[in-house]
Amino acid sequence: MQVQSMHFKRNASAKLNDAVLQRNMQKAKGKFVDGRAKAVSEVENWEAIRTHAAALRDQCLANLDAYLLEFEANATRHGAVVHWAETAAEACDIIVKIAKENGVAKATKSKSMVSEEVNLNERLEAAGIQPIETDLGEYILQLAGEPPSHIVAPAVHKSKEQVADLFVAAHGKPRLTDIPAMTREARDALRDHFLTADMGISGANFIIAETGTTLTVTNEGNADMVTTVPRIHCVITGVEKVIPTLEDFATLIRLLPRSAVGQTIANYLTLTTGTKMPGDQDGPEQMHIVLVDAGRTKFVGTDMQDMLRCIRCGACMNHCPVYQNVGGHAYGWVYPGPMGSILTPTYVGIENAGDLPNAATFCGECQVVCPVKIPLPDLMRKLRERQHDMRLRPWSERIPMAMWAFAAKRAGLYAFLSKWGARVGSWLGGRDRLIHSLPGIDGWTQGRDMPAPEGRTFRELYVQRRDKQ
Amino acid sequence: MSARENILARIRRQQGRSGPTTAEEMALVRANIREHGVGPKPLAAQAEDSLELFKRECQRLLTTFAEVDEATVPHEVARYCAEANIAKSLAGWREYSHLHWPAAGIDYAARAANKDDTVGFTGCFCAIAETGTLLLLSSPDQPKLNALLPETHICVVPKARIVPTMEDAFALVRTEVGEPPRSMFFVSGPSRTADIEQTIVIGAHGPYRVHVILI
Amino acid sequence: MKVGLFVTCLVDLARPSIGFATLKLLQDAGCEVIYPDTQTCCGQPGYNSGAREVSRELALKVLKEFRDCDYVVAPSGSCTGQIKVHYPNDLFRGAPEQRDFEALAAKTFELSDFLINVLNVQTVPGKFEGAVTYHDSCSGLRELSVKMQPRYLLQMAGAEIAEMADCEKCCGFGGTFSIKLGEISTRMAENKCANIRSSGASTIVGGDLGCLLNIEGRLRREGDMTTQVKHFAEIAAGDLSSLDGSERNANTNEHG
Cβ of residue A385 closer than 8 Å to a chain B Cβ: no
Contact C4, C72 (CB under 8 A): yes
List, for residues C24-38, the tens digit of each pLDDT value: 999 999 999 999 999
Contact B40, A48 (CB under 8 A): yes
Contact A52, A248 (CB under 8 A): no
List, for residues C145-171, the tens digit of each pLDDT value: 999 999 999 999 999 999 999 999 999
**A361, A409, A449 member nearest C172 (Cβ):** A361
Determine the Cα–Cα distance for residues B57 and B60; give it in Å rounded to an integer. 5
pLDDT score recorded for residue A167: 97
Which site among A365, A387, A458 would you substitute to test the C interface, given the most C Cβ atoms closer than 10 Å to its Cβ?
Answer: A458
Determine the Cα–Cα distance for residues B207 and B117; give it in Å rounded to an integer. 11
Query: Which chain B residues touch A30 with a CB distance below 8 Å?
Result: none
pLDDT score recorded for residue C250: 41
Domain boundaries, chain C: 2-118, 131-240
Cβ of residue A28 closer than 8 Å to a chain B Cβ: yes
pLDDT score recorded for residue C254: 39
The per-residue DSSP string of B93-113 comes to -GGGTTS-TGGGT-EEEES--
List, for residues C121-152, the tens digit of each pLDDT value: 999 999 999 999 999 999 999 999 999 999 99
Determine the Cα–Cα distance for residues C192 and C189; give it in Å rounded to an integer. 5
Domains and CATH numbers, chain A: 1-42+316-393 (no CATH), 45-298 (3.40.50.10420), 400-468 (no CATH)
pLDDT score recorded for residue C243: 72
Cβ of residue C194 closer than 8 Å to a chain A Cβ: no
Measure the CA dihedral C29/C35/C40/C42, to 10°.
Answer: -40
Is the pLDDT assigned to residue A10 strictly greater than 90? yes
pLDDT score recorded for residue C36: 97
A458 and C48 within 8 Å at the Cβ level: the answer is: no
Is the pLDDT assigned to residue C252 strictly greater than 50? no
- C and B touch per CB criterion (3+ pairs under 8 A): no
Query: Which chain A residues touch C38 with a CB distance below 8 Å?
Result: 411
pLDDT score recorded for residue C256: 32
The low-confidence residues of chain B, meaning pLDDT below 50, are: none
Determine the Cα–Cα distance for residues B125 and B146; give it in Å rounded to an integer. 14
A381 and C50 within 8 Å at the Cβ level: the answer is: yes
- Average pLDDT in the A208-221 region? 97
List, for residues A94-144, the tens digit of each pLDDT value: 999 999 999 999 999 999 999 999 999 999 999 999 999 999 999 999 999
Chain A segment 347-376 residues within 8 A of B by beta carbon are none
- Average pLDDT in the C6-24 region? 98
Question: Of A239, A290, A278, A367, which Cα lies nearest the Cα of A80?
Answer: A290
pLDDT score recorded for residue C247: 42
Is the pLDDT assigned to residue A440 strictly greater than 90? no
Q: Taking the domain B49-214, which CATH number applies?
A: 3.40.50.10420
C115: buried, middle or exposed (CB in 10 Å: 19+, 13-18, 0-12)?
A: buried
Cβ of residue B56 closer than 8 Å to a chain A Cβ: no
Determine the Cα–Cα distance for residues A436 and A447; give it in Å rounded to an integer. 9
Determine the Cα–Cα distance for residues A417 and C51; give it in Å rounded to an integer. 21
Q: Which amino acid is at A358?
A: N
A52 and B39 within 8 Å at the Cβ level: the answer is: yes
A66 and B143 within 8 Å at the Cβ level: the answer is: no
pLDDT score recorded for residue C251: 42
Determine the Cα–Cα distance for residues A176 and A163; give it in Å rounded to an integer. 9
**A56, A228, A250 member nearest B166 (Cβ):** A250
List, for residues C200-216, the tens digit of each pLDDT value: 999 999 999 999 999 99
Strand A199-202: give its sheet, edge to edge: A80-85, A286-292, A232-238, A199-202, A106-109, A130-133
Per-residue confidence band for C241, with pLDDT thresholds at 50, 70 and 90: confident
- Average pLDDT in the A160-184 region? 95
pLDDT score recorded for residue B149: 94
pLDDT score recorded for residue C249: 42
Mean pLDDT of chain A: 95
List, for residues A374-392, the tens digit of each pLDDT value: 999 999 999 999 999 999 9
The 10 Å Cβ neighbour count of residue B191 is: 26
B145 and A154 within 8 Å at the Cβ level: the answer is: no
Chain A segment 306-325 residues within 8 A of C by beta carbon are 321-322, 325
Give the chain B residue whose CA is nearest to the CA of A23: B197
List, for residues C172-211, the tens digit of each pLDDT value: 999 999 999 999 999 999 999 999 999 999 999 999 999 9
Determine the Cα–Cα distance for residues A150 and A155; give it in Å rounded to an integer. 7
Write down the architecture of domain C131-240 according to CATH. Answer: 3-Layer(aba) Sandwich (3.40)
Per-residue confidence band for C246, with pLDDT thresholds at 50, 70 and 90: very low
Is the pLDDT assigned to residue A28 strictly greater than 90? no
C220 and A454 within 8 Å at the Cβ level: the answer is: no
Query: Which chain A residues touch B207 with a CB distance below 8 Å?
Result: 221
Helix then strand count (H, E) for chain A reads 21, 12
Determine the Cα–Cα distance for residues A293 and A238; give it in Å rounded to an integer. 6
Residue A5 Cα, gap to closest chain C Cα (Å): 14
A172: buried, middle or exposed (CB in 10 Å: 19+, 13-18, 0-12)?
A: exposed
Separation in Å, CA B66 to CA A18, B58, B153, B213, C115: 50, 11, 14, 5, 60
Is the pLDDT assigned to residue A30 strictly greater than 90? no
Q: What is the ipTM of this complex?
A: 0.96
Is the pLDDT assigned to residue A225 strictly greater than 50? yes
Residue A328 Cα, gap to closest chain C Cα (Å): 14
Per-residue confidence band for C255, with pLDDT thresholds at 50, 70 and 90: very low
Is the pLDDT assigned to residue C253 strictly greater than 50? no
C187 and A325 within 8 Å at the Cβ level: the answer is: yes
Measure the CA dihedral A215/A221/A226/A230, to 10°.
Answer: 120
pLDDT score recorded for residue B1: 73
Separation in Å, CA A177 to CA A142, A254, B197, C27, C141: 19, 35, 11, 66, 43
pLDDT score recorded for residue A26: 87
Determine the Cα–Cα distance for residues C84 and A59; give it in Å rounded to an integer. 29
Neighbours of chain C (3+ CB pairs under 8 A): A
The helix/strand/coil state of A207 is strand
- In DSSP terms, which residues pair with B213 in a beta bridge? B66, B156
Separation in Å, CA A12 to CA A322, C167, C169, C183, C185: 9, 24, 19, 8, 11
Cβ of residue B48 closer than 8 Å to a chain A Cβ: no
Chain B segment 25-44 residues within 8 A of A by beta carbon are 25-26, 28-30, 32-33, 36-44
Separation in Å, CA A83 to CA A69, A201, A237, A298: 12, 14, 11, 20
pLDDT score recorded for residue B47: 79
Residue A321 Cα, gap to closest chain C Cα (Å): 7
CA dihedral for A159, A160, A162, A166, sign (positive or negative): positive
Residues 6+ apart with CB under 8 A from C171: C135, C137, C188, C189, C192, C211, C214, C215
Q: Which amino acid is at B88?
A: K
**B14, B60, B185 member nearest A300 (Cβ):** B14
pLDDT score recorded for residue B45: 81
Q: Which amino acid is at A331?
A: Y
Separation in Å, CA B71 to CA A79, B77, B88: 40, 11, 17
pLDDT score recorded for residue C248: 42
Determine the Cα–Cα distance for residues C30 and A312; give it in Å rounded to an integer. 52
List, for residues A401-419, the tens digit of each pLDDT value: 999 999 999 999 999 999 9
